[in-house]
């Protein structure tokens, strides 16, 4: 009898945790060759996204926020590539390997954890001129871009050009946008020492959000404290304001104001990986609707979790009336339940429902500043920063990665930044989708053609 094959799509927060749990729970079956686990991921690392703003700010190096898969995955097979379509009827994942070859990968159980991509809005100029902040490439590019703006402003004699190059706009007042604006403001502040011809008052950071509050999940009081803190540091926070248009030299806001700038960082929301559209199933707010045991409705062998899934929140009142938010906290915990449910389904045992009470949020505002809301406590300042950094160390999946991060923090604390641009993609233009797995998915027609060619 051939082995039962479990295919895991993606090795991020949810995917890696699910694979590790499957390796543990199916140790015997894997050793005897009764089950095989195949994980498909484009890169050979899991990315710890919450520390990306610190990569952009130069506090830690890019490699430090990666968890190497060859070390983290012991018994499962790794297939480097991207799943570009799923045929639920034939039970096949179509994989484009990194050598561009496209192959069919049949499965007995499928776990989809392809995460999310930056959500695009129909705003003129956004795709062309906006910069994303959702992967290593984007974080490294953003750092280079910000430093190059200061360098070019320093070398310019045109006051208008100088002002535009020294003005930076971040859109999205969630934790990703707030941390990005806060940590990069510290970077430009520190870098000014290296550009003696630049007037420090020229450098301006603006954080824009359509909502009336920053990070509503922090609660009103902490949200207001974060807002005060950012404003005291000179970061302009524009709430209840959206973006109307973006050009190479400016951003027009919905209140009619125009900010001359060459930098717009877009962090205003995410949407599920385009892979979910190839499933041809119902989507809720762009995510795949799942049952409470994390299965794709109507498909007993397919599990969807993490940012790609619309999972009913059983802690909401009434239970299931809301969806679990797309956070690492939920992705990791869903992975444990999904892996256990896959094992239970193979053994003919009952499946468990996913229910998790949110443990709160930690937000690093750079240096010694942070706000944190762990277990309903409200913390600010140095204590919040200690809790924030402690939380990241606890959540990072590998001792090696934890050690790198701590070492980088210490080095940065005592040695500061070297402010170099590594020349990443020098001279190339970046767009919000340049670094994301958003292209090359198979259309419904292409999937049908593959199915009829195979039959
Ligand atoms: C800047 C930033 C800061 C954040 N801070 C926090 C925080 O402080 N706390 C928190 O809880 N959450 C935070 N988040 C959100 C958190 O990172 C996500 O909710 C979490 O990563 C979701 O996990 P996931 O496994 O669903 O997706 P991911 O972790 O994104 O993993 C998806 C994986 O799938 C791979 N993949 C994508 N498409 C395919 C495909 N077609 N085929 C194969 N593989 C594919 C990707 O390469 C990736 O490895 C932050 C996010 C960002 C961007």
Domains and CATH numbers, the chain: 4-52+65-118+271-357 (3.50.50.60), 126-268+360-415 (3.50.50.100)
Q: Output the pLDDT for position 358.
A: 84
Q: Output the pLDDT for position 1.
A: 64
The sheet carrying 130-131 orders its strands as: 130-131, 263-266, 167-171, 204-208, 236-238
Cα(342)–Cα(449) distance, rounded to whole angstroms? Answer: 30
Cα(93)–Cα(91) distance, rounded to whole angstroms? Answer: 7
What is the four-CA torsion angle of 187, 193, 199, 200, rounded to 10 degrees? 40
Question: Nearest 5°: phi and psi at 275?
Answer: -55, -35
Average pLDDT, the chain: 94
pLDDT category of residue 429 using cuts at 50, 70 and 90: low
pLDDT beyond 80 at 424: no
Ligand 1: centre distance to CA 26 (Å): 25
Average confidence (pLDDT) over 263-270: 94
Average confidence (pLDDT) over 229-237: 97
- Least trusted range by pLDDT, from 76-85, 137-146, 329-338, 440-449: 440-449
**Degrees (nearest 5) of the Cα angle 140, 142, 144?**
70
Q: Which of 164, 132, 138, 169 is nearest to 150 (CA)?
A: 164
Ligand 1: centre distance to CA 330 (Å): 11
**What Å distances lie between residue 422 and 58, 174, 185, 313, 407, CA to CA?**
11, 28, 19, 43, 21
Cβ neighbours of residue 424 under 8 Å, at least 6 residues apart? 137, 140, 141, 144
Ligand 1: centre distance to CA 54 (Å): 16
With the most atoms of ligand 1 within 8 angstroms of its CB, the residue from 142, 171, 327, 395 to mutate is: 327
Helix count (H) and strand count (E) of the chain?
13, 28
Packing angle, helices 175-191 and 220-232, rounded to 10: 20
Average confidence (pLDDT) over 336-362: 95
Q: Is the peptide bond before 318 cis (omega within 30 degrees of 0)?
A: yes
Ligand 1: centre distance to CA 50 (Å): 9
With the most atoms of ligand 1 within 8 angstroms of its CB, the residue from 20, 56, 115 to mutate is: 115
Q: Which atom of ligand 1 is nearest to the CA of 53?
A: 1
Whether the Cβ atoms of residue 303 and residue 112 lie closer than 8 Å to each other: yes
Q: Output the pLDDT for position 387.
A: 96
Q: Which of 56, 90, 72 is nearest to 20 (CA)?
A: 72
Which DSSP category does 65 fall into?
Answer: G
Ligand 1: centre distance to CA 407 (Å): 24
pLDDT digits (tens, 9 = 90+) for 292-344: 999 999 999 999 999 999 999 999 999 999 999 999 999 999 999 999 999 99
Ligand 1: centre distance to CA 421 (Å): 26
Average confidence (pLDDT) over 225-233: 95
Q: Output the pLDDT for position 440.
A: 84
Query: For ligand 1, which residues put their CB under 6 angstroms from it?
Result: 9-15, 40-43, 49-50, 52-53, 82-83, 113-115, 133-134, 175-176, 273, 275, 306-308, 326-329, 331, 437
* Helix, coil or strand: residue 304: strand
pLDDT category of residue 433 using cuts at 50, 70 and 90: low
* Helix, coil or strand: residue 265: strand
Q: Which atom of ligand 1 is nearest to the CA of 441?
A: 41
Half-sphere exposure of residue 140: CA atoms within 13 angstroms, side-chain side:
15
Give the residue, by CA position, lying nearest to ligand 1 atom 19: 327
Cα(184)–Cα(181) distance, rounded to whole angstroms? Answer: 5
Q: Output the pLDDT for position 119.
A: 86
pLDDT digits (tens, 9 = 90+) for 179-225: 999 999 999 999 998 998 899 999 999 999 999 999 988 888 889 99
Ligand 1: centre distance to CA 305 (Å): 11
Q: Output the pLDDT for position 216.
A: 87
Q: Output the pLDDT for position 435.
A: 75
Q: Which of 58, 24, 44 is nearest to 418 (CA)?
A: 58
Q: Output the pLDDT for position 2.
A: 84
Q: Output the pLDDT for position 203.
A: 97
Ligand 1: centre distance to CA 153 (Å): 35
Average confidence (pLDDT) over 398-417: 95
Q: Output the pLDDT for position 444.
A: 83
Whether the Cβ atoms of residue 13 and residue 336 lie closer than 8 Å to each other: no
Ligand 1: centre distance to CA 127 (Å): 21
Q: Which atom of ligand 1 is nearest to the CA of 43?
A: 47
pLDDT beyond 90 at 107: yes
* Helix, coil or strand: residue 302: strand
Selection from 8-22, 366-380, 435-449 with the highest mean pLDDT: 8-22
Q: Output the pLDDT for position 286.
A: 93
* Helix, coil or strand: residue 139: helix
With the most atoms of ligand 1 within 8 angstroms of its CB, the residue from 9, 12, 333 to mutate is: 12
pLDDT beyond 80 at 428: no
| Chain centre to alpha carbon of residue 3 | 34
């Amino acid at each position: 009898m051939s082995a039962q094959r479990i295919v895991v799509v993606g090795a991020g927060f949810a995917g890696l945790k699910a694979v590790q749990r499957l390796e543990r729970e199916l140790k015997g079956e894997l050793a005897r060759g009764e089950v095989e686990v195949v994980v498909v991921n484009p890169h050979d690392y899991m990315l710890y996204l919450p520390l990306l703003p610190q990569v952009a700010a130069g506090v830690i190096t890019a490699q430090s926020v990666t968890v190497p898969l060859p070390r983290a995955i012991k018994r499962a097979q790794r297939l480097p590539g991207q799943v570009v379509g799923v045929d639920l009827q034939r039970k096949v994942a179509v994989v484009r390997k990194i050598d561009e070859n496209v192959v069919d990968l049949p499965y007995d159980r499928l776990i989809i954890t392809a995460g999310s991509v930056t959500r695009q809005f129909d705003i003129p100029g956004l795709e062309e001129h906006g910069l994303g902040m959702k992967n290593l490439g984007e974080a490294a590019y953003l750092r280079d871009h910000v430093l190059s703006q200061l360098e070019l402003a320093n070398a310019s004699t045109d006051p208008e050009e100088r002002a535009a190059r020294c003005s930076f706009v971040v859109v999205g007042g969630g934790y990703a946008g707030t941390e990005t604006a806060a940590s990069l403001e510290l970077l430009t502040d520190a870098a000014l020492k290296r550009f003696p011809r630049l007037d420090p008052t020229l450098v301006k950071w603006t954080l824009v959000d359509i909502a009336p509050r920053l990070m509503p999940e922090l609660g009103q009081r902490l949200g207001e404290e974060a807002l005060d803190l950012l404003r005291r540091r000179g970061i302009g926070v524009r709430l209840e304001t959206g973006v109307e248009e973006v050009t190479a030299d400016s951003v027009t806001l919905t209140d009619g104001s125009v900010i001359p700038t060459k930098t717009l960082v877009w962090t205003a929301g995410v949407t599920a990986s385009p892979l979910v559209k190839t499933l041809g199933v119902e989507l809720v707010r762009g995510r795949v609707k799942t049952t409470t045991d994390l299965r794709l409705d109507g498909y007993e062998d397919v599990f969807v979790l993490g940012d790609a899934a619309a999972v009913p929140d059983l802690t909401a009142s009434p239970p299931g009336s809301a969806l679990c938010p797309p956070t690492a906290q939920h992705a990791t915990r869903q992975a444990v339940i999904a892996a256990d449910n896959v094992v239970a389904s193979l053994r003919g045992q009952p499946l468990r429902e996913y229910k998790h009470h949110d443990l709160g949020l930690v937000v690093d505002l750079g240096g010694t500043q942070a706000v944190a809301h762990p277990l309903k406590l409200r913390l600010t300042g140095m204590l919040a920063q200690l809790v924030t950094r402690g939380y990241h160390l606890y959540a990072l999946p590998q001792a090696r990665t934890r050690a790198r991060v701590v070492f980088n923090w210490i080095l940065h604390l005592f040695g500061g930044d070297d402010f170099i641009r590594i020349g990443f993609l020098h001279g190339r233009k970046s767009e919000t989708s340049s670094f994301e797995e958003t292209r090359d998915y198979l259309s419904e027609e292409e999937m049908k053609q593959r199915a009829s060619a195979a039959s």
